[in-house]
């Protein structure tokens, strides 16, 4: 069975794994490099948007709520 798994990491990125199709706000595809798992930034400090580049650690990102 195929599917998509989404994990919200505490004070970190959103991990998405599975059969991923990622589009921008206009519906244009974003290249995920064929990866089976991607990490999307939610701290807004990444220099590789929309992907996490680890900057959440440098800025001590703290999610307001635990999802």
Binding site for ligand FES (CB under 6 A): 12-13, 41-43, 45-46, 52-56
Closest to ligand FES by CB, 27 vs 65, is 65
Rg for the chain (alpha carbons), in Å? 13
Paired tokens of 58: 């440098």
CB 13 to ligand FES: min, Å: 4
Contact between residue 37 and residue 29 where contact means Cβ atoms under 8 Å apart: no
For 7, other C-beta atoms within 10 Å of its C-beta total 13
Question: Toward ligand FES, which CB reaches closer, 4 or 44?
Answer: 44
Least Å distance between CB 31 and ligand FES? 18
């Amino acid at each position: 069975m195929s599917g998509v798994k989404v994990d919200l990491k505490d004070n970190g990125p959103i991990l998405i794994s599975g059969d991923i199709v990622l589009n921008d706000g206009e519906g244009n595809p974003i290249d995920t490099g064929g990866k089976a798992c991607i990490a999307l930034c939610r701290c807004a400090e990444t220099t590789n948007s929309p992907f996490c580049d680890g900057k959440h650690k440098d800025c001590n990102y703290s999610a307001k709520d635990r999802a």
